[in-house]
Amino acid sequence: MTAQTAACIDHLVVLARDLATGVEWCERTLGVTPAAGGEHPLMGTHNRLLNVSSPAHPRAYLEVIAINPQGTRSIPESDRRWFDMDEAALQQQVAEHGPQLIHWVASVPDVAASLAALAALGVDRGRAITASRPTPQGLLQWQITVRPDGQRLWDGCLPTLIQWGAAHPCDHLPASGVQLQSLTLQHPDAAGLGAACDAAGLRAIATALAGPAPLLQAALSTPRGPVALRSAPPPSTPSTE
């Protein structure tokens, strides 16, 4: 694999109550069945994957992730899983309304440098931990930023950062007929979010827009035509409808 020289959108995170529900959602919403993923022994989670690479985003995928009821996790008992997956209000939201886009992950060439730049702004994106999962093609290994409390930041609009090893999931994911066209970030604190994205080296791929409520929106082309995936308002944000 050619060494990565610039940040890029790595993947979209869709949280599901369980993988069967996530697969059904994917088939119903996008018109395709996600490929097999794997287990994350570190966090006690598992996933299914969908290649959404496009000319604008040539190495991107969608991850349907859920807590593995048969899995165990090796992080300290006091720590929480990545992406706020242990947050009761988020779990309830997904249980009531189904799988939803909750976060995104950006691939960076030097995760330690990006973390240091964020820390200089007073932003604690966590530490870079080493994770892996087995695949039929060999071991996938990566470094990923995770806080002990598992929190996403800016309500999921500031991405988790990842630095891959020699292999990437898209190396062996078949084309799905779904392509990522754009990702929009909206937040009441657009200035702070934008400064954090710039510090992490994401200027070319992430623009923060001001809005009354946090919002992630991914525009996808699919076999069923254009589809927009939108994150739900945080549980504490009153609905305006």
Here the CATH number for the domain that contains residue 74 is: 3.10.180.10
User: Mean pLDDT, the chain, as a whole number?
Assistant: 93
pLDDT tens-digit profile of 113-132? 999 999 999 999 999 999 88
Q: Is the pLDDT of residue 1 over 60?
A: no
- With respect to residue 236, please indicate whether it lies within any of the assigned structural domains: no
In a domain, 235, yes or no: no
With a CB cutoff of 8 Å and minimum separation 6, the contacts of 88 are: none
Report the C-alpha gap between 202 and 107 in whole angstroms.
Answer: 9
Q: How far apart are CA 106 and CA 122, in angstroms?
A: 20
Kindly report the number of other CB atoms within 10 A of residue 56's CB atom: 14
Angle between helices 190-199 and 111-120 (to 10 degrees): 140
* Cα distance between residue 185 and residue 181, in whole Å: 14
Measure the CA–CA gap between 157 and 137, rounded to whole angstroms: 32
The confidence band for 238, taking pLDDT boundaries of 50, 70 and 90, is very low
Q: Check pLDDT > 70 for residue 158.
A: yes
Domain of residue 218: give its range.
8-230
How many domains does one find in the chain? 1
- Inside any domain, residue 237: no
